[in-house]
Amino acid sequence: DADVTQTPRNRITKTGKRIMLECSQTKGHDRMYWYRQDPGLGLRLIYYSFDVKDINKGEISDGYSVSRQAQAKFSLSLESAIPNQTALYFCATSADLRDSYTGELFFGEGSRLTVL
Amino acid sequence: AQTVTQSQPEMSVQEAETVTLSCTYDTSESDYYLFWYKQPPSRQMILVIRQEAYKQQNATENRFSVNFQKAAKSFSLKISDSQLGDAAMYFCAYKDFGNEKLTFGTGTRLTIIP
């Protein structure tokens, strides 16, 4: 089983719909992230969380919200989806500074979202 | 703000040959990490190699090695004895100690020619 699991893997929805992408991890990491990948733009950070009570905006948080339900679960919501939110979304985790921190991110397999 | 530039959108190499992917970055920090990630058609982002800026020795992982030039802010990836399974998008990424964000380049698509 994957250490970082994202659901759904693919989703097609319509403009104005509310969408939730879910992420769960078994790595025991405190830090979790949501990134968005667009062709020609690389990956950009949407939100990140250090623990259940610590959530922070990334560089492109407008139009998105997140919830850290538990140490192992971090979900991303699009309250009212629009076509330019069509992208590949990645959840990732990293170790805490106290735990042999290497800066490395561990990624899920991605959720491809298409907004029509 | 830190930026990462990959100037080669696409590269190709004959199987068993060597290829070098380029990456430059801009930062005013002295301590940071640099990474190369591989994204095969399966979409999963996989760490290929990592370099700490304070280490002068270039990182090596089997057929993958880097040429880290700190003064020039350059971090190229060399793949030796290229294999069909190396075909993927490769992303260069930067992270400094005071910033949670991993900054990615725009990627280089590597094709392996049999």
DSSP-derived 3-state class of residue B85: helix
pLDDT digits (tens, 9 = 90+) for B57-72: 888 889 999 999 999 9
pLDDT digits (tens, 9 = 90+) for A13-61: 999 999 999 999 999 998 999 999 998 889 999 999 988 999 999 999 9
How close B105 comes to chain A (CA, Å)? 6
pLDDT, position A41: 87
Q: Which residue has the higher pLDDT, A101 or A47?
A: A47
Three-point CA angle A19, A25, A27, nearest 5° = 160
Please answer yes or no on whether B35 and A103 come within 8 Å at the CB atom: yes
Q: Which residue has the higher pLDDT, B98 or A67?
A: A67
Please answer yes or no on whether A107 and B35 come within 8 Å at the CB atom: no
Mutate to test the interface with B, among A27, A37, A43 (most CBs of B within 10 A): A43
Mean pLDDT of B24-47: 93
A49 contacts A70 by C-beta, under 8 angstroms? no
A56 contacts B104 by C-beta, under 8 angstroms? no
Length of chain B, please? 114
> Token pair of B55, please?
């280490």
Chain B residue set in contact with A, beta carbons under 8 Å: 4, 9, 33, 35, 42-47, 50, 91, 95, 100-102, 104-107
For the beta carbon of residue B10, count every other beta carbon within 10 angstroms: 10
**Nearest-CA residue of chain B relative to A95?**
B100
**Which residues does chain B have within 8 Å of residue A105's beta carbon, measured at their own beta carbons?**
45, 47, 102
Closest CA relative to residue A16, chosen from A70, A72, A82: A82
Model confidence at A100: pLDDT above 60: no
pLDDT digits (tens, 9 = 90+) for A69-99: 999 999 999 999 999 999 999 999 998 766 5
High-pLDDT (> 90) share of chain B, %: 76
> Token pair of A86, please?
């069509």
Give Cβ neighbours of residue B63 (< 8 Å, ≥ 6 apart).
B79, B80, B81, B83
pLDDT, position A101: 65
Phi and psi, residue B5, nearest 5° = -120, 125
pLDDT, position B57: 85
Mean pLDDT of A58-68: 95
pLDDT, position A102: 72
Give the HSE-up count for residue A103: Cα atoms under 13 Å, Cβ half-sphere: 22
